[in-house]
Structure 1
Amino acid sequence: MDQCHGLAWEEATPVRTFRWSRGLGHFPGWWWAASTGRHVGFESWLEQDRLILLDFDPEVVGIASQPFWLHWHDGKEKRRHAPDYFVRLADGRARVVDVRAEDQVDERTAEAFAATERACSAVGWEFRHVGVPDPALMANLRWLARYRHPRCAGGPGIAARLRETFAVPTPLLTGAEAIGDRLAVLPALFHLMWKQELVADLAHERLDPATLVRSASSAGGPS
């Protein structure tokens, strides 16, 4: 473990293969992370949701899926566990994340998480077990994530006009239509919301034309 501490685990390749096969009962895939410009694997809808949240988090600068095997002996048998994600934060801290709905954590899973937490603590890493995210927030982020790629930023001047228009809280569609054709403006608006340069209350209500949007700088930072 001491030899692992200083390595760039956020660049690790998965230790397990992500398999696509009918009847497996799960949903594997790859997520393109705007925060890193790299693809990150997932094995379920819940893991994909967690990737969206990590990608949206301004503190996250690196993500790797299934980054390593942790081996231990529980007193009866040899065990091993591959955590779902290794996350590198902007201040250099490391965080290991396991994703599992609370009602799906059985005794063996809880033991694996506990062993992982002990191992992480030994090298100064954080460990988090995360479950099902807030449904309203997740619905909004799934929508905004469609516009995370830089190609959605819009033409020259649109971003500046959006920041100016939403310097004070303004209904989403009203502000967009004040700038121009909604088909051209809305992708850039959603892109800036994904980047958290424009912010709204994403945690308590679904985005709609009347959602109040404002500049993050005018609000003192992202919400």
Structure 2
Amino acid sequence: MAEVVAQFLSPAGRLLEKPVSQVRQERLEERAEVWRPTRYRGRRAIATWWRPAGQARHAGCATLGALEAALSLEFDPQVVSFTGWPLRLAWADSAEGYVPDFFARLADGRARLLVCQTSERATGCWEETSMLLKAAGEQADWEVRVHPGTDDTAAAANRQRLARYRHARLADADTARVLHQVFARPRPFTDGVKASALPELATVARALHLVWKRELLIDWSTPFLPTRSLVWSPQEVR
């Protein structure tokens, strides 16, 4: 199999190039971008930024589909941290390169490349890129995943709605203890918040943080409606 090389920035910002097999120990999720999308009038894609909870660095998203992919990484309990566009991959004998959308670090120390499947990529060029990504994953021992595109399911809509409550500043152990008690059996979200007898506004935000963290459970396959959707705790109340 032909060798794949990676270009990335050092912690000091110097551009480096190495075979991907020698990049396994690099903390690429902490590096700056090697590429950013060109902005020009008439550009159909939308470049924006997503800031993962608990991270100082934003992750670049070239399209709305990539923004959705970033949210899926944020929601994945296996993902510890991630960033956008930190490396460029190429065959060792080629001047052409490809920049994956995201590089993520998993809880077990492994790395994941996440790329977005767009209409522009559904061509012969994408087939060649897929071969490059597969080879890079095998040589660097990286997991490679392809985000399928815009997700219009109820689960995706729920993630988008609840993502605003993902931040750790909303965690509160005392509130969580009470909410696990009131949701010991399934009941509508609004009813449980009222039954807690805690300040409503703060408790709503903290409860939705627990839902995002899946410390309180909902049916993600149906639209989340606070007055109707059932919420329950997986913990046994003693």
TM range (shorter): 0.7 to 0.9
Residue of structure 1 aligned with 2:104, choices 48, 71, 87 = 87
Instruction: Among all aligned residue pairs of Structure 1 and Structure 2, give the percentage whose two residues are the same amino acid.
Output: 33
TM-score (norm 1): 0.86
The answer for the alignment partner of 2:49 in structure 1 is 30
Residue 62 (1) aligns with residue 62 (2): no
SS at match of 1:207: coil
Matched, 1:136 2:154: yes
Q: What is the CA–CA distance in structure 2 between the aligned matches of 1:49 and 1:62, rounded to whole Å?
A: 16
Distance 1:152 1:131 in 2: 31
Match of 1:113 in 2: 130
Partner Cα distance (1:37, 1:194) in 2: 20
SS of match in other structure, 1:176? helix
Q: Which residue of 2 aligns with 1:177?
A: 194
One-letter code aligned to 1:138: A
- Consecutive unaligned residues of structure 2, counting only runs of 5 or more, are 1-19
> Post-superposition shift, 1:70?
0.9
The answer (yes or no) to whether the contact 1:200–1:214 under 8 Å persists in 2 is yes
How far is 1:124 from its partner?
Answer: 1.2
Q: What residue is the counterpart of 2:234 in the other structure?
A: 216
- Per the TM alignment, residue 189 of structure 1 is displaced from its structure 2 partner at its CA by 1.1
Q: CA deviation at 1:134?
A: 5.2
Task: Give the total of aligned pairs.
Answer: 214
Q: Deviation per CA, 1:162-181: give whole Å up to 9, x if none.
A: 12111221111111121245
CA distance in 1, matches of 2:137, 2:193: 46
1:193 aligns with 2:196: no
CA RMSD of aligned residues (A): 2.3
- Cα pair 1:167 1:214 within 8 Å, conserved: yes
| CA displacement at 1:129 relative to structure 2 | 1.3
Q: Does the 8 Å CA contact 1:199/1:216 hold for their aligned counterparts? A: yes
Q: TM-score, normalised by structure 2?
A: 0.81
* CA deviation string 1:32-79 (max 9, x = no partner): 1115454211111111111111111111012021121112278xx642
**1-structure distance, mates of 2:54, 2:134:** 26
The secondary structure found in structure 2 opposite 1:15 is: coil
State the secondary structure of the residue aligned to 2:96: strand
Does the aligned pair in 1 maintain the 2:59–2:84 contact within 8 Å? yes
Query: Which residue does the alignment assign to 2:8?
Result: none
Are 2:57 and 2:83, in contact at CA under 8 Å, matched by a contact in 1?
Answer: no
Please point out which of 128, 145, 148 is paired with 2:163.
Answer: 145
Contact 1:35 1:61 in 2 (8 A): no
Displacement of 1:98 in angstroms is 0.7
**Inter-CA distance 11–174: structure 2 relative to 1 (3 Å threshold):** same
Give a deviation string over 1:98-139, Cα, whole Å, max 9, x none: 112478521102211221111211121111112133521110
Q: What CA distance in whole angstroms lies between the structure 1 residues aligned with 2:108 and 2:81?
A: 11
Separation in 2 of the partners of 1:47 and 1:186? Answer: 29
Q: What are the superposed Cα offsets for residues 142-177 of structure 1, whole Å, 9 maximum, x if unpaired?
A: 1110111234346x7322211211122111111112
Change (3 A) 1:215 1:130: same
Q: Bigger CA drift: 77-86 or 103-112?
A: 103-112
CA contact (8 A) 1:34 1:149 kept: yes
The aligned counterpart of 2:24 is 5
> Are 1:96 and 2:103 counterparts?
no
Give 1:196 deviation, angstroms. 1.5
Partner of 1:15: 34
Structure 1 gaps of 5+ residues are 219-223
Cα distance in 2, alignment partners of residues 139 and 106 from structure 1: 29
